[in-house]
Structure 1
Amino acid sequence: MPHLTFQERAVISHMRYHGETQKAIAEALGRSPSTISRELSRNRSPKHGYIPHQAQQLAKRRQSQPSVASKLEEPRLHAVVTQKLKANWSPQQISGWLKETNSDLRVSHQTIYRFLYALDRKNPIRKAMRRGGRRNRREKPGFIKAWKVGRVSIHKRPKSVDKRKLVGDWEMDLMTCHKSSGHLVTAVDRKSGYTLIGRVRTKQSAVVMNRILDMFKGIDPSKIRTMTFDNGTEFFY
């Protein structure tokens, strides 16, 4: 299960403010109640309570702390794996070879990948990998390529948006509800954290965009400066 997104954290804050239970929040987001409970206990401020921006920063800080694949701390296993990597073996080949040779050493290819991607790209072991340690990226379908033509990159939006200086810079996202009971469209103001939430039954772009228009009907136009959309095709209209 992927990590909670900022939009999900905004929904958690919004529903908590309106008195919803952790179970109700979990059902709305398609998460387990334990995930919501853990989020509220780990990423809340003792002084200010649960605030989405602060929760996101705390989570990112925790995720950025380097995690070492403990299995590869074993000297013999570390030596074998690094030797094979330098010989241009893939993690899958190394894992399979250890099993075939009835060695007492065992390691999954996922563990080897985690070990490698925790290293700096300039590390000789990672550079010895096929593709130079770069992650594989699948080619996008032709429709997606065409859809992206004319879109403005997030890197070209005003610098004030990144610095959260002004009210009116909105981030849009769409989340699938538990058991396919529909989807939640979220709009979060980056400065204030004010959140708008709308429900749609389908991810068709026309339906989603019309729902967004309805959500913003009561918002003062002066409070709408920019909108940053997720790259999902549901926002292509």
Structure 2
Amino acid sequence: MAAPASADITSKTISATELHHSMGHYRGVREIARQIGRSPATISRELRRNAATRGGKLEYRALVAQWKAQQGAKRPKTAKLVANEELRTYVQDRLAGVVRRPDGTLVVGPTPPEWKGLNKPHRADRRWSLAWSPEQISQRLRVDYPDDESMRISHEAIYQSLFIEGRGALKRELVACLRTGRALREPRARSRNKPQGHVTSDVVLSQRPPEAEDRAVPGHWEGDLIIGVGRSAIGTLVERRSRATLLVHLPRQQGWGEQAYVKNGPALGGYGAIAMNAALTASMAELPQQLRKTLTWDRGKELSAHAQFAMDTGTQVFFADPHSPWQRPSNENTNGLLRQYFPKGTDLSRWSAADLEAIAYTLNNRPRKALEWRTPAEVFGEQLHSGKRPGVASTD
């Protein structure tokens, strides 16, 4: 959106004429910016957007620039999502997609309460959806339509269409499909876990190989649990380089619910040390050896038998420092995404292994900014392929 030249270079009243006078001796962009107290990027945008072009080259003239800015600022203006039906359909479908298995069959999620225009309901189901973020949609358009300039829209325009009255080209209830599900953010409480005896000096984070830190080498994972009511849980594993996600099914153990809970009794909820080892081993054993080098975990007791897990899988286990979720950033981010499908306060044991596989498939096929808008599945597939080249050892 082009704004008046006097408004674009804001906070002080600077006209296009004044900018033109600053250029009288052909000063550079940074010199002009210093002289009138503005960012060099602001000056550069103004010169590029409002320069005269009739002579076959860009030449900044004050009168032409002011006229262009005034023309661009005229209102009301038809929103791009209103005028372009193909673009609107693309955006809307990715804001409100459905979860499908790799074979294309639909996974029926929970039935959420009727949306009433409020912030996301707490302790209640939310709809399952593909739910790309507006920024993911905006950037992926450049990949899917590289030569069609009409298929372009900023993420801010998508947000405005959802939240601002009068720009409602999209269905208002699609706001519930956004990751947060609410208009305002709330700070997350930090974990209150205490250091545990199973974390010894040889498995603290400082002992992790340096190659795992810069994400240049594949095969380094981060893991944690997401917890539901009734001591239900789902294990989450995220590969640091590709951001590929594995969800670990943790079903109830035999005898669960048949007697009252006993403190320090047998762990029947599904994520005691023995059950956790078995489930993690089954998930990691499906990967080639070169793609399961290390696993960085939270300080929870569920991985207290990590030595046996490391022996069974060949994967070194390391534990993050207490109260330091930022040391597992990819996993923490993914767990936030997964709360869209598994809200706090719900029973997570009701979902089957096939359901978890479908949700992981959905997450792994969403484009990521950190991957230059490729998907984790695409990057992880490249890692698998490179590991199976002739002359490169792999363990299937």
Q: TM-score range by the shorter chain?
A: 0.3 to 0.5
Larger Rg: 2
TM-score where L is the length of structure 1? 0.43
